[in-house]
Amino acid sequence: MSEHDQPTTDAPELVHLTLTVNGEAVAVSFEPFKTLLEVLREDLHLTGTKHGCELGECGACAVLLDGRAVLACLVLGVDCEGREITTIEGLADHAELHPLQTAFADLGGSQCGYCTPGILLTAKALLDRTPRPTRAQIREALSGNLCRCTGYQQIFESIEAAIGPDDDERDDSEVPA
């Protein structure tokens, strides 16, 4: 290492702000260079949001920001004040799973489960703007979310099942309360 490298002496000053996460206003302090991904996982302990690259390549950290799917590793935490953040922890309605979650659970849409939170939120953003997407639209929407386990097929089928006519009849009774 070169001689002009000076040891770091001080931690940077923290920013203090209020974020709206899953409908709840939370006050949080963090270093200003932290990404939303880091703030969620490290400062708010919402570890449901995953990371696979920290470079915007894999899609594992996708969350909703004002209803749009974004990669939390490419968004700075300080830019999120006053905006609605939805993470996987906010997808279910308390104990009742979102229809996408139910479908993924029942139909093999999740294997190791690591890409699952990002894919579920990306799928939710898709369905919110396109309630009945075609298979091609689903493929397109998920093209930034890598999954190494499933080969995507059961993910497509899960999303299609979640929007299907049998939606309301889906039986979630096996899930312990």
C-alpha–C-alpha distance, residues 134 and 159, integer Å: 10
Among candidate residues 52, 49, 38, the one with its CA nearest the CA of residue 148 = 52
Question: Binder to other proteins among 47, 82, 128, 167 (CB under 8 A)?
Answer: 47
Would you count residue 86 as binding other proteins (CB under 8 A)?
no
C-alpha–C-alpha distance, residues 158 and 13, integer Å: 45
Would you count residue 74 as binding other proteins (CB under 8 A)?
no
Those residues whose C-beta lies under 8 Å from the C-beta of residue 176, and which sit 6 or more positions away, are none
Among candidate residues 76, 41, 65, the one with its CA nearest the CA of residue 124 = 65
Would you count residue 99 as binding other proteins (CB under 8 A)?
no
Question: Binder to other proteins among 31, 78, 160, 164 (CB under 8 A)?
Answer: 31
Minimum distance, C-beta of residue 21 to other proteins, in the bound complex (Å): 13
Residue 3 or 82 with smaller CB distance to other proteins = 3
Task: Compute φ and ψ for 50, nearest 5 degrees.
Answer: -105, 170
Question: Binder to other proteins among 80, 86, 110, 125 (CB under 8 A)?
Answer: 110
Would you count residue 120 as binding other proteins (CB under 8 A)?
yes
E strand map for 2-161: 15-21, 24-30, 62-65, 68-71, 84-86
Question: Binder to other proteins among 21, 37, 60, 80 (CB under 8 A)?
Answer: 60
Tokens of 60: 């594992």
Tokens of 135: 């298979």
Would you count residue 69 as binding other proteins (CB under 8 A)?
no
C-alpha–C-alpha distance, residues 130 and 26, integer Å: 31
Binders of other proteins among residues 138 to 167 (CB under 8 A) are: 138-140, 142-156
Question: Binder to other proteins among 4, 8, 13, 166 (CB under 8 A)?
Answer: 8
Residues forming the site for other proteins (CB under 8 A): 1, 5, 7-11, 31, 33, 45, 47-55, 57-58, 60, 87-89, 91-92, 97, 100-102, 104-117, 120, 138-140, 142-156, 174-176
